[in-house]
Protein backbone atom coordinates (compact mmCIF):
# COMPACT_ATOMS: atom_id res chain seq x y z
CA UNK A 1 0.00 0.00 0.00
CA UNK A 2 1.35 3.47 -0.93
CA UNK A 3 2.47 5.65 1.96
CA UNK A 4 -0.21 8.31 2.01
CA UNK A 5 0.24 11.18 4.45
CA UNK A 6 -3.22 12.01 5.81
CA UNK A 7 -3.86 15.76 5.92
CA UNK A 8 -3.93 17.05 9.48
CA UNK A 9 -6.28 19.92 10.32
CA UNK A 10 -4.56 23.20 9.44
CA UNK A 11 -2.61 24.80 12.28
CA UNK A 12 -4.44 23.09 15.09
CA UNK A 13 -2.65 22.25 18.32
CA UNK A 14 -3.55 19.65 20.89
CA UNK A 15 -1.71 20.14 24.18
CA UNK A 16 -1.31 17.15 26.49
CA UNK A 17 -0.57 18.03 30.11
CA UNK A 18 1.29 15.11 31.67
CA UNK A 19 3.31 12.75 29.50
CA UNK A 20 3.30 9.59 31.59
CA UNK A 21 1.64 6.37 30.41
CA UNK A 22 -1.67 7.96 29.39
CA UNK A 23 -0.33 11.22 27.94
CA UNK A 24 2.32 9.50 25.81
CA UNK A 25 -0.12 6.85 24.58
CA UNK A 26 -2.57 9.57 23.56
CA UNK A 27 0.26 11.40 21.76
CA UNK A 28 1.21 8.22 19.90
CA UNK A 29 -2.41 7.62 18.90
CA UNK A 30 -2.63 11.20 17.57
CA UNK A 31 0.57 10.69 15.54
CA UNK A 32 -0.72 7.46 14.05
CA UNK A 33 -4.06 9.02 13.07
CA UNK A 34 -3.14 12.64 12.34
CA UNK A 35 -5.91 15.15 12.98
CA UNK A 36 -3.87 18.22 14.01
CA UNK A 37 -0.67 19.93 12.91
CA UNK A 38 1.00 19.87 16.32
CA UNK A 39 0.97 17.94 19.57
CA UNK A 40 2.47 19.81 22.52
CA UNK A 41 3.62 17.80 25.54
CA UNK A 42 4.00 19.39 28.98
CA UNK A 43 5.45 17.73 32.09
CA UNK A 44 7.61 19.00 34.98
CA UNK A 45 9.77 15.85 34.74
CA UNK A 46 12.01 17.41 32.10
CA UNK A 47 14.13 14.33 31.41
CA UNK A 48 11.04 12.22 30.88
CA UNK A 49 9.48 14.96 28.74
CA UNK A 50 12.51 15.26 26.44
CA UNK A 51 12.76 11.48 26.12
CA UNK A 52 9.06 11.11 25.28
CA UNK A 53 9.30 13.87 22.66
CA UNK A 54 12.37 12.22 21.08
CA UNK A 55 10.84 8.75 21.10
CA UNK A 56 7.46 9.96 19.76
CA UNK A 57 9.26 12.19 17.24
CA UNK A 58 11.05 9.09 15.90
CA UNK A 59 7.62 7.68 15.08
CA UNK A 60 6.88 10.68 12.83
CA UNK A 61 9.99 10.75 10.63
CA UNK A 62 9.16 7.72 8.47
CA UNK A 63 6.85 9.80 6.28
CA UNK A 64 3.56 8.50 7.61
CA UNK A 65 2.63 11.30 9.99
CA UNK A 66 2.33 15.00 9.27
CA UNK A 67 1.78 15.83 12.94
CA UNK A 68 4.74 17.50 14.67
CA UNK A 69 5.44 16.76 18.30
CA UNK A 70 7.30 19.07 20.68
CA UNK A 71 7.81 19.89 24.33
CA UNK A 72 6.09 23.02 25.58
CA UNK A 73 5.28 25.04 28.65
CA UNK A 74 2.00 25.24 30.52
CA UNK A 75 1.66 28.83 29.21
CA UNK A 76 1.90 27.69 25.59
CA UNK A 77 -0.55 24.87 26.29
CA UNK A 78 -3.09 27.43 27.49
CA UNK A 79 -3.33 28.74 23.89
CA UNK A 80 -3.98 25.31 22.29
CA UNK A 81 -7.20 24.37 20.49
CA UNK A 82 -7.63 21.44 22.86
CA UNK A 83 -5.95 20.91 26.24
CA UNK A 84 -6.07 17.33 27.52
CA UNK A 85 -5.22 16.96 31.21
CA UNK A 86 -3.65 13.58 31.98
CA UNK A 87 -1.42 14.95 34.76
CA UNK A 88 -1.79 13.36 38.12
CA UNK A 89 -1.30 10.38 40.37
CA UNK A 90 -2.75 7.06 39.30
CA UNK A 91 -4.33 4.27 41.35
CA UNK A 92 -2.20 1.54 42.85
CA UNK A 93 -3.66 -1.96 42.99
CA UNK A 94 -6.80 -1.94 45.15
CA UNK A 95 -6.98 1.89 45.36
CA UNK A 96 -10.12 3.72 44.26
CA UNK A 97 -10.11 6.66 41.83
CA UNK A 98 -11.61 8.92 44.54
CA UNK A 99 -8.54 8.30 46.76
CA UNK A 100 -6.49 10.34 44.23
CA UNK A 101 -8.62 13.45 44.74
CA UNK A 102 -6.52 15.56 47.15
CA UNK A 103 -3.27 14.99 45.22
CA UNK A 104 -4.78 15.52 41.79
CA UNK A 105 -6.82 18.57 42.77
CA UNK A 106 -3.60 20.28 43.92
CA UNK A 107 -1.94 19.40 40.61
CA UNK A 108 -4.98 20.61 38.66
CA UNK A 109 -5.03 23.91 40.50
CA UNK A 110 -1.31 24.49 39.82
CA UNK A 111 -1.81 23.66 36.13
CA UNK A 112 -4.40 26.44 35.75
CA UNK A 113 -2.17 28.91 37.58
CA UNK A 114 0.67 28.01 35.19
CA UNK A 115 -1.50 28.10 32.04
CA UNK A 116 -3.17 31.46 32.76
CA UNK A 117 -4.41 33.28 30.82
CA UNK A 118 -6.08 30.39 28.99
CA UNK A 119 -7.44 31.09 25.49
CA UNK A 120 -11.22 31.67 25.59
CA UNK A 121 -11.53 29.28 22.59
CA UNK A 122 -9.76 26.30 24.19
CA UNK A 123 -11.67 23.08 24.74
CA UNK A 124 -10.60 21.46 27.97
CA UNK A 125 -10.71 17.68 28.26
CA UNK A 126 -10.14 16.05 31.64
CA UNK A 127 -8.74 12.52 31.77
CA UNK A 128 -6.96 12.43 35.17
CA UNK A 129 -8.92 10.82 37.99
CA UNK A 130 -11.28 11.13 39.70
CA UNK A 131 -12.36 12.56 36.37
CA UNK A 132 -15.90 13.70 37.26
CA UNK A 133 -14.76 15.63 40.34
CA UNK A 134 -11.78 17.15 38.54
CA UNK A 135 -14.09 18.20 35.68
CA UNK A 136 -16.32 19.90 38.25
CA UNK A 137 -13.40 21.92 39.68
CA UNK A 138 -11.82 22.59 36.25
CA UNK A 139 -14.93 24.58 35.25
CA UNK A 140 -14.28 27.02 38.08
CA UNK A 141 -10.48 27.03 37.82
CA UNK A 142 -10.40 27.57 34.03
CA UNK A 143 -13.08 30.25 33.83
CA UNK A 144 -14.09 28.79 30.45
CA UNK A 145 -17.73 28.59 29.32
CA UNK A 146 -19.52 25.52 30.68
CA UNK A 147 -19.74 23.87 27.23
CA UNK A 148 -15.95 23.98 26.76
CA UNK A 149 -15.09 21.84 29.79
CA UNK A 150 -15.68 18.11 29.60
CA UNK A 151 -14.35 14.86 31.00
CA UNK A 152 -13.87 11.58 29.13
CA UNK A 153 -16.23 10.18 31.77
CA UNK A 154 -17.76 6.81 30.99
CA UNK A 155 -16.70 6.76 27.32
CA UNK A 156 -14.03 4.21 28.24
CA UNK A 157 -16.43 2.17 30.41
CA UNK A 158 -18.94 2.19 27.55
CA UNK A 159 -16.27 0.87 25.15
CA UNK A 160 -15.54 -1.91 27.64
CA UNK A 161 -19.28 -2.61 27.90
CA UNK A 162 -19.62 -2.88 24.13
CA UNK A 163 -16.69 -5.30 24.11
CA UNK A 164 -18.21 -7.79 26.54
CA UNK A 165 -21.75 -7.47 25.15
CA UNK A 166 -20.47 -8.02 21.60
CA UNK A 167 -18.87 -11.30 22.67
CA UNK A 168 -21.99 -12.47 24.49
CA UNK A 169 -24.38 -11.48 21.68
CA UNK A 170 -21.97 -12.66 18.94
CA UNK A 171 -22.16 -9.43 16.94
CA UNK A 172 -19.59 -6.73 16.14
CA UNK A 173 -19.02 -4.23 18.96
CA UNK A 174 -19.94 -1.44 16.49
CA UNK A 175 -23.47 -2.93 16.25
CA UNK A 176 -24.04 -2.55 20.01
CA UNK A 177 -25.46 0.73 21.27
CA UNK A 178 -25.19 0.72 25.03
CA UNK A 179 -23.94 3.22 27.58
CA UNK A 180 -22.43 3.13 31.00
CA UNK A 181 -23.61 6.38 32.62
CA UNK A 182 -22.96 8.34 35.83
CA UNK A 183 -19.57 8.26 37.53
CA UNK A 184 -16.37 7.01 35.92
CA UNK A 185 -16.00 5.05 39.13
CA UNK A 186 -17.69 2.67 41.48
CA UNK A 187 -21.21 4.17 41.34
CA UNK A 188 -21.48 3.93 37.55
CA UNK A 189 -24.49 2.11 36.10
CA UNK A 190 -25.53 0.57 32.79
CA UNK A 191 -28.53 2.03 30.94
CA UNK A 192 -29.88 -1.42 30.01
CA UNK A 193 -33.35 -0.16 29.15
CA UNK A 194 -32.08 1.91 26.20
CA UNK A 195 -29.47 -0.59 24.94
CA UNK A 196 -29.93 -1.86 21.39
CA UNK A 197 -28.35 -4.22 18.89
CA UNK A 198 -28.73 -2.41 15.60
CA UNK A 199 -32.06 -0.73 16.22
CA UNK A 200 -33.60 -3.64 18.21
CA UNK A 201 -33.88 -3.33 21.99
CA UNK A 202 -32.07 -6.03 23.96
CA UNK A 203 -35.46 -7.36 25.13
CA UNK A 204 -36.15 -8.32 21.49
CA UNK A 205 -32.67 -9.04 20.09
CA UNK A 206 -31.10 -10.96 22.99
CA UNK A 207 -33.47 -11.27 26.00
CA UNK A 208 -31.10 -13.85 27.57
CA UNK A 209 -28.58 -11.03 28.22
CA UNK A 210 -31.12 -9.33 30.47
CA UNK A 211 -31.14 -12.09 33.12
CA UNK A 212 -30.12 -10.85 36.59
CA UNK A 213 -27.03 -13.10 36.57
CA UNK A 214 -25.72 -11.84 33.19
CA UNK A 215 -26.46 -8.22 34.05
CA UNK A 216 -24.49 -8.62 37.29
CA UNK A 217 -21.59 -10.33 35.51
CA UNK A 218 -21.44 -7.64 32.80
CA UNK A 219 -21.61 -4.73 35.22
CA UNK A 220 -18.93 -6.30 37.49
CA UNK A 221 -16.71 -6.83 34.45
CA UNK A 222 -17.12 -3.23 33.30
CA UNK A 223 -16.75 -1.65 36.74
CA UNK A 224 -13.77 -3.87 37.60
CA UNK A 225 -11.89 -3.59 34.28
CA UNK A 226 -9.48 -0.82 35.32
CA UNK A 227 -8.63 -2.52 38.64
CA UNK A 228 -7.92 -5.84 36.94
CA UNK A 229 -5.67 -4.30 34.27
CA UNK A 230 -3.83 -2.12 36.82
CA UNK A 231 -3.22 -5.15 39.08
CA UNK A 232 -1.49 -6.92 36.19
CA UNK A 233 0.40 -4.10 34.40
CA UNK A 234 0.33 -1.04 36.66
CA UNK A 235 -1.74 1.27 34.46
CA UNK A 236 -4.36 1.44 31.74
CA UNK A 237 -3.37 3.45 28.68
CA UNK A 238 -4.39 2.09 25.26
CA UNK A 239 -8.14 2.21 25.85
CA UNK A 240 -8.15 5.78 27.17
CA UNK A 241 -5.59 6.83 24.54
CA UNK A 242 -7.98 5.74 21.83
CA UNK A 243 -11.04 7.26 23.53
CA UNK A 244 -9.36 10.66 24.09
CA UNK A 245 -7.92 10.76 20.54
CA UNK A 246 -11.38 10.00 19.08
CA UNK A 247 -12.93 12.78 21.18
CA UNK A 248 -10.24 15.22 19.95
CA UNK A 249 -11.16 14.27 16.38
CA UNK A 250 -14.89 14.79 16.99
CA UNK A 251 -14.05 18.26 18.35
CA UNK A 252 -11.64 19.40 15.62
CA UNK A 253 -13.84 17.98 12.83
CA UNK A 254 -17.03 19.33 14.44
CA UNK A 255 -18.44 15.87 13.84
CA UNK A 256 -21.49 16.18 16.16
CA UNK A 257 -20.96 12.65 17.45
CA UNK A 258 -22.98 11.44 20.45
CA UNK A 259 -20.87 10.08 23.32
CA UNK A 260 -21.38 9.58 27.07
CA UNK A 261 -19.28 12.43 28.50
CA UNK A 262 -18.79 14.02 31.88
CA UNK A 263 -20.16 17.56 31.97
CA UNK A 264 -22.11 19.72 34.36
CA UNK A 265 -25.65 18.50 35.03
CA UNK A 266 -27.60 21.47 36.46
CA UNK A 267 -30.44 19.26 37.72
CA UNK A 268 -27.99 17.06 39.66
CA UNK A 269 -25.51 19.70 40.83
CA UNK A 270 -22.36 17.88 39.68
CA UNK A 271 -20.46 16.62 36.63
CA UNK A 272 -21.15 13.06 35.57
CA UNK A 273 -21.59 11.21 32.30
CA UNK A 274 -24.72 11.50 30.23
CA UNK A 275 -25.00 11.33 26.42
CA UNK A 276 -24.11 14.55 24.62
CA UNK A 277 -23.43 15.82 21.11
CA UNK A 278 -19.75 16.78 20.86
CA UNK A 279 -18.39 19.26 18.29
CA UNK A 280 -16.00 22.16 17.70
CA UNK A 281 -17.38 24.11 20.63
CA UNK A 282 -17.24 21.15 23.02
CA UNK A 283 -20.56 19.99 24.44
CA UNK A 284 -23.00 21.12 21.74
CA UNK A 285 -26.06 19.87 23.64
CA UNK A 286 -27.11 17.05 25.97
CA UNK A 287 -29.10 14.19 24.44
CA UNK A 288 -31.99 13.18 26.71
CA UNK A 289 -32.03 9.51 27.65
CA UNK A 290 -35.03 7.59 28.95
CA UNK A 291 -34.10 5.71 32.12
CA UNK A 292 -36.28 3.15 33.87
CA UNK A 293 -37.07 3.46 37.58
CA UNK A 294 -34.03 1.46 38.74
CA UNK A 295 -31.64 3.39 36.49
CA UNK A 296 -33.10 6.74 37.57
CA UNK A 297 -32.46 5.78 41.21
CA UNK A 298 -28.92 4.68 40.33
CA UNK A 299 -28.34 8.06 38.65
CA UNK A 300 -29.61 9.96 41.68
CA UNK A 301 -27.54 7.85 44.12
CA UNK A 302 -24.48 8.38 41.96
CA UNK A 303 -25.01 12.17 41.84
CA UNK A 304 -25.58 12.30 45.62
CA UNK A 305 -22.26 10.49 46.21
CA UNK A 306 -20.40 12.84 43.87
CA UNK A 307 -21.94 15.93 45.49
CA UNK A 308 -20.79 14.68 48.91
CA UNK A 309 -17.22 14.24 47.66
CA UNK A 310 -17.30 17.74 46.10
CA UNK A 311 -18.60 19.26 49.35
CA UNK A 312 -15.80 17.51 51.30
CA UNK A 313 -13.17 18.79 48.86
CA UNK A 314 -14.57 22.34 49.03
CA UNK A 315 -14.37 22.21 52.83
CA UNK A 316 -10.72 21.11 52.64
CA UNK A 317 -9.95 23.94 50.19
CA UNK A 318 -11.50 26.58 52.46
CA UNK A 319 -9.61 25.17 55.52
CA UNK A 320 -6.34 25.34 53.53
CA UNK A 321 -7.11 28.94 52.56
CA UNK A 322 -7.88 29.89 56.17
CA UNK A 323 -4.62 28.30 57.31
CA UNK A 324 -2.64 30.14 54.59
CA UNK A 325 -4.25 33.45 55.59
CA UNK A 326 -3.46 32.88 59.27
CA UNK A 327 0.16 32.04 58.44
CA UNK A 328 0.45 35.18 56.27
CA UNK A 329 -0.97 37.33 59.11
CA UNK A 330 1.50 35.73 61.58
CA UNK A 331 4.40 36.51 59.23
CA UNK A 332 3.31 40.14 58.79
CA UNK A 333 2.95 40.43 62.60
CA UNK A 334 6.57 39.22 63.09
CA UNK A 335 7.98 41.72 60.55
N1 LIG B 1 -10.38 8.84 32.76
C2 LIG B 1 -9.93 7.65 32.42
O3 LIG B 1 -10.65 6.85 31.80
C4 LIG B 1 -8.53 7.28 32.78
C5 LIG B 1 -7.83 8.08 33.63
N6 LIG B 1 -6.55 7.76 33.99
C7 LIG B 1 -5.89 8.69 34.91
O8 LIG B 1 -4.94 9.48 34.19
C9 LIG B 1 -3.94 9.96 35.11
C10 LIG B 1 -2.55 9.71 34.54
O11 LIG B 1 -2.26 8.34 34.48
P12 LIG B 1 -0.82 7.83 33.98
O13 LIG B 1 -0.42 8.56 32.75
O14 LIG B 1 -0.85 6.36 33.97
O15 LIG B 1 0.11 8.34 35.17
P16 LIG B 1 1.69 8.61 35.11
O17 LIG B 1 2.17 8.67 36.53
O18 LIG B 1 2.33 7.65 34.20
O19 LIG B 1 1.80 10.06 34.46
C20 LIG B 1 1.34 11.22 35.07
C21 LIG B 1 2.26 12.36 34.65
O22 LIG B 1 1.71 13.60 35.10
C23 LIG B 1 2.82 14.44 35.32
N24 LIG B 1 2.50 15.64 36.08
C25 LIG B 1 2.38 15.79 37.42
N26 LIG B 1 2.13 17.09 37.70
C27 LIG B 1 2.08 17.76 36.53
C28 LIG B 1 1.88 19.12 36.17
N29 LIG B 1 1.65 20.07 37.10
N30 LIG B 1 1.90 19.45 34.87
C31 LIG B 1 2.15 18.53 33.91
N32 LIG B 1 2.34 17.21 34.20
C33 LIG B 1 2.33 16.84 35.49
C34 LIG B 1 3.81 13.53 36.05
O35 LIG B 1 5.13 14.08 36.04
C36 LIG B 1 3.68 12.25 35.24
O37 LIG B 1 4.64 12.18 34.21
C38 LIG B 1 -4.23 9.24 36.44
O39 LIG B 1 -4.96 10.10 37.29
C40 LIG B 1 -5.09 8.06 36.03
O41 LIG B 1 -5.90 7.59 37.06
C42 LIG B 1 -5.90 6.66 33.51
C43 LIG B 1 -6.56 5.83 32.63
C44 LIG B 1 -7.94 6.04 32.23
C1 LIG C 1 -7.69 4.05 35.28
C2 LIG C 1 -9.05 4.24 34.80
O3 LIG C 1 -9.76 5.13 35.24
C4 LIG C 1 -9.59 3.33 33.83
O5 LIG C 1 -8.84 2.61 33.14
O6 LIG C 1 -10.83 3.23 33.72
Ligand 2 pocket member 237 (CB < 6 A): no
The distance between the two most distant Cα atoms of the chain, rounded to a whole number of Å, is 77
- Put simply, whether the predicted model's pTM sits higher than 0.90 gets the answer yes
Per-residue pLDDT tens digits for 258-311? 999 999 999 999 999 999 999 999 999 999 999 999 999 999 999 999 999 999
pLDDT score of 143 more than 90:
yes
Give tens-digit pLDDT for 147-167.
999 999 999 999 999 999 999
pLDDT value at position 191?
A: 98
Whether 137 has a pLDDT exceeding 70, the answer reads: yes
Catalytic residue among 74, 106, 136, 184: 184
Lowest mean pLDDT among 146-155, 194-203, 289-298, 317-326: 317-326
The residue ranges of every structural domain in the chain are 13-151, 155-309
Average pLDDT over residues 180-199: 98
Is the confidence at residue 334, as pLDDT, over 80? no
pLDDT at 330 over 50: yes
For 95-131, how does the pLDDT look when each residue is reduced to its tens digit (9 = 90+)?
999 999 999 999 999 999 999 999 999 999 999 999 9
How do residues 61-92 score in pLDDT, each as one tens digit? Answer: 876 678 999 999 999 999 999 999 999 999 99
pLDDT of 325: 74
Closest-lying ligand 1 atom to the alpha carbon of residue 24: 13
Question: What's residue 10's pLDDT?
Answer: 64
Say what the pLDDT of residue 139 is.
97
Pocket test for ligand 2, best of 21, 184, 187 (most atoms within 8 A of CB): 184
- Domain 13-151 CATH superfamily: NAD(P)-binding Rossmann-like Domain (3.40.50.720)
Helix spans in the chain (H):
21-32, 46-58, 74-77, 101-115, 131-142, 155-169, 202-205, 212-233, 238-252, 293-334
> What's the CATH number of domain 155-309, 3.40.30.10, 3.30.70.270, 3.90.110.10, 3.40.190.10?
3.90.110.10
Dist CA 186 CA 167 (whole Å) = 23
Q: Compute the average pLDDT of residues 206-224.
A: 97
pLDDT in tens, 12-31: 999 999 999 999 999 999 99
Eight-class DSSP state of 182 = B
Instruction: Report the share of the chain in percent with pLDDT over 90.
Output: 88
Closest C-alpha to ligand 2, atom 5: 226
Residue 275: closest CA among 293, 256, 294, 260:
260
CB 150 within 8 A of CB 131: no
Evaluate if residue 229 carries a pLDDT over 80.
yes
ipTM of the complex: 0.99
* Among protein residues, the one whose CA lies closest to atom 3 of ligand 2: 226
Binding residues for NAD(+): 18-23, 43, 104, 127-129
Instruction: Please state which of the ranges 169-178, 185-194, 247-256, 314-323 shows the lowest mean pLDDT.
Output: 314-323
Contacts of 325-332 spanning 24+ positions with Cβ under 8 A:
none
Please state the separation of Cα 88 from the chain's center in Å.
13
Catalytic: 184?
Answer: yes
Ligand 1 mean position, distance from CA 153 (Å): 15
Shortest-distance Cα residue to atom 7 of ligand 1: 128
Count how many Cα atoms sit within 13 Å of the Cα of residue 33 in the half-sphere of its side chain: 13
**Residues 133-140: what's their mean pLDDT?**
97
Amino acid sequence: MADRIPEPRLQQTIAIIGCGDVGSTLAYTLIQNPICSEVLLVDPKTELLEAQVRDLGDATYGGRSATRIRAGTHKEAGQADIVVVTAGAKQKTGESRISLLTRNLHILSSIFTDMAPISPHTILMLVANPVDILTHFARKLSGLPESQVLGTGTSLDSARLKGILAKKADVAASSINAYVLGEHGDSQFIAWSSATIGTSPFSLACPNLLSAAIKREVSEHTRGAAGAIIAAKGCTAYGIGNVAASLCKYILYDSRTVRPLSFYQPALGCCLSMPAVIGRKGIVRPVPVKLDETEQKELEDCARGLREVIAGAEEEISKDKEMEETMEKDLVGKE
